[in-house]
Amino acid sequence: MEFLCSKDVQVVGNTAMCYVSAFSGAGIGDCGIHFGSKIPLAMASEKETDRANIIRRNFDKTKVYSGDINSKLLDLREHWVTHFGDLKPWLVVISPPCQGMSANGLGKIMSEVRQNRRPELDERNQLIIPGIQLIESLEPDWFIIENVPRMKHTVIETEEGDLVNIVEYVKNKLEKYGYTIKEDIVDFLDYGVPHRRERLITIGCRLGTGADKLHPEPTHGPKQALPDYVSLGHVLAKAKLPPIQAKEKENKCKKIEYHEVPVWNNKHMEWMKPVKQGASAFENHLCPKCKISYASDPTLTKCTKPGCETVLPRPQVSFDGWICQNCAEKNRTHRETCYCGKKRTSEKVERVSRIIKGFKTSYRRLDSDSPAGTLTMNSGVISSDMKGHPTEHRVLSVKEILILSTMHSYEKEKYPWESFAFETKNSDGVCDKVSLRTIRHVIGESIPPLGLKKIVNHLKSLDSRI
């Protein structure tokens, strides 16, 4: 296979106008740089083989490494030297895993250490270390580190065993190479992305550009001089997708690829049908039969009117259990002690129902007048956070998720990366389509390509050599 090399890219001084991506996922964000900003992707590293194979399918001349990045650092360095010699990459982008990022700051953790209660730190946070080592090894002109906002307060253990704030670690390691470094929390709504996506974006530059200029100015927002945020209703109206609902044989449109949703069970349909835009099924307070309001008691599961006793359309669960005489909590049969601490004595086992415990943002419809909520890996699950379609009885379809993520356009003009194939390509060159569930997952993991394109285009505008 022929990989990207120095003769394939523009060379400016000792810089090859291409970039390297680590913790690349399926290459969703990379589309914004490679296809959008026209900075070719030379190398990518991704732990999960299926994600790496999606990159291989879509980036023909990119060298892709799968597996633990700690074991691939030398390979990445050797491949770069073999194909680019002494040149430096223009950009390195790293997106280390965010699942372990903690809101516990250094002060709180050090207080525990002083009390001889050294906390266990999530090993996933340590993956920032090989990411920084990659930047040290390649010395790009620019680097971007993207992660969740709480990374700003996360603590890691350094190679020397010290506990340090992760942002300070980045600066301590890289400022000595001459980088100007600036971190800022960015909501990609500000760049015209039609869903909420907050990320801590850390940018480093060795070209002498002032730190106050590294992040682009918002193009959308509440300021009078800017267009407003892009609303979900605007996107859906422009997309003009046929209505579907979460019922068998009605949950997909055969003419439009990816316009498909999971089928709901009867309970989910009953709970969600009365829900208005922006509201949750937990707020359903009217009895469907006698129309009595139970808004004052959100814990009730059925109408209390004698002779009615209709089940209320609230998310609830039924099971064999016992009711605590102390706090009226409904406990499953196997529990011998209530959550309040009282032990079970003479309470009898009976069939009981209670409201499902969880966040009240679940079983909730989105609001057409606002941008969509953050796209997560669970975008197909109505019990997850704010996933209901604003008017139809279903979650957002995979096609709608692709549009909101900016992988697909809702306008007549297509994105330059719209031909991206959700397929894997193995070492034998065989391509296979991935599941709709996998598409939802990789979109939920990724940075919006339109947002990353705008950031990188801004960096290009700051580089006087381009």
Q: How far apart are the first and last CA of the chain?
A: 30
Predicted confidence (pLDDT) at residue 104 exceeds the cutoff of 80? no
Predicted confidence (pLDDT) at residue 68 exceeds the cutoff of 80? yes
pLDDT tens-place string over residues 254-266: 999 999 999 999 9
User: Do the beta carbons of residue 144 and residue 201 sit within 8 Å?
Assistant: yes
Scanning the structure block, which residue is given the tokens 């016992």?
Answer: 322
pLDDT tens-place string over residues 364-419: 999 999 999 999 999 999 999 899 999 999 999 999 999 999 999 999 999 999 99
Predicted confidence (pLDDT) at residue 105 exceeds the cutoff of 50? no
In angstroms, how far is CA 88 from the centroid of its own chain?
30
Report how far residue 96's alpha carbon sits from residue 401's, in angstroms, rounded to the nearest whole number: 23
pLDDT of residue 106: 47
Q: Which amino acid, one-letter code, is at 76?
A: L
Q: Which amino acid, one-letter code, is at 342?
A: K
160 membership: H or E segment, kind and range: none
- pTM beyond 0.85: the answer is yes
**Mean pLDDT score of the chain:** 92
Report how far residue 198's alpha carbon sits from residue 184's, in angstroms, rounded to the nearest whole number: 10
Scanning the structure block, which residue is given the tokens 């890219």?
Answer: 9
pLDDT tens-place string over residues 159-194: 888 888 888 999 999 999 999 999 999 999 999 999
* 427 pLDDT tier (thresholds 50, 70, 90): confident
Task: State the sign of the Cα–Cα–Cα–Cα dihedral 379, 380, 383, 386.
Answer: positive
pLDDT of residue 121: 57
- The domain 6-228+433-462 is classified under which CATH number: 3.30.420.40, 3.30.1370.10, 3.40.50.720, 3.40.50.150? 3.40.50.150
pLDDT tens-place string over residues 276-326: 999 999 999 999 999 999 999 999 999 999 999 999 999 999 999 999 999
CA angle, 184 then 188 then 190, to 5°: 90
Q: Which amino acid, one-letter code, is at 146?
A: E
The region of weakest confidence among 45-59, 93-107, 426-440 is 93-107
Report domain extents, the chain. Answer: 6-228+433-462, 316-355
pLDDT tens-place string over residues 133-161: 999 999 999 999 999 887 787 888 888 88
